[in-house]
Amino acid sequence: MTIALLGLPQDNNASYLSGPALAPQRIREALWSDSANMFTETGLDLGDPTIWTDSGNVALEGLTGQSAYDAIYSAVTQRIAQGHRLVSLGGDHSIAFPVIHAHANAYEGLNILHIDAHPDLYDNMLDNKFSHASPFARLMETGKIARLVQVGIRTQNAHQKAQAEKFGVETHEMRDLSKLADLQFEGPVYLSFDLDALDPAFAPGVSHFEPGGLSTRQGLDIIQNFKGQLVGADVVELNPLRDANGMTAMVAAKLAKELIARLVADQDASDR
Residues found near its own copies in the complex (CB under 8 A) = 15-18, 22, 25, 29, 32-39, 41-43, 45, 154-158, 161, 173-175, 199-202, 204, 207-213, 215-217, 220-221, 224, 241-242, 244-247, 250-251, 254
Give pairs for 34-40: CB < 8 Å, separation 24+. Answer: 35/250, 40/257, 40/258, 40/260, 40/261
Q: Which is nearer to its own copies, 73 or 173 (CB)?
A: 173
User: Nearest approach, Cβ of 82 to its own copies (angstroms)?
Assistant: 26
- Measure Cα distances from 75 to 27, 101, 262 in Å: 20, 12, 22
Judging by DSSP bridges, how do beta strands 110-115 and 184-194 pair with one another?
Answer: parallel
Contacts of 121 (CB under 8 A, 6+ apart): 134, 136, 137, 140, 160, 163, 164, 167, 169
- Measure Cα distances from 23 to 44, 54, 57, 103 in Å: 25, 15, 11, 22
Q: Which is nearer to its own copies, 25 or 267 (CB)?
A: 25
Q: Which is nearer to its own copies, 39 or 108 (CB)?
A: 39
Distance between CA 153 and CA 171 in Å, rounded? Answer: 7
User: Nearest approach, Cβ of 74 to its own copies (angstroms)?
Assistant: 25
User: Nearest approach, Cβ of 119 to its own copies (angstroms)?
Assistant: 11
Give φ, ψ of 236 to 5 degrees. -130, 170
User: Nearest approach, Cβ of 89 to its own copies (angstroms)?
Assistant: 16
User: Nearest approach, Cβ of 120 to its own copies (angstroms)?
Assistant: 13
What single-letter amino acid sits at 196?
D
User: Nearest approach, Cβ of 252 to its own copies (angstroms)?
Assistant: 9
Q: Which is nearer to its own copies, 80 or 133 (CB)?
A: 133
Q: Which is nearer to its own copies, 14 or 81 (CB)?
A: 14
Distance between CA 99 and CA 242 in Å, rounded? Answer: 26
Give φ, ψ of 159 to 5 degrees. -60, -45
User: Nearest approach, Cβ of 109 to its own copies (angstroms)?
Assistant: 29
Q: Which is nearer to its own copies, 32 or 186 (CB)?
A: 32
User: Nearest approach, Cβ of 110 to its own copies (angstroms)?
Assistant: 27
Q: Which is nearer to its own copies, 30 or 100 (CB)?
A: 30
Q: Which is nearer to its own copies, 139 or 164 (CB)?
A: 164
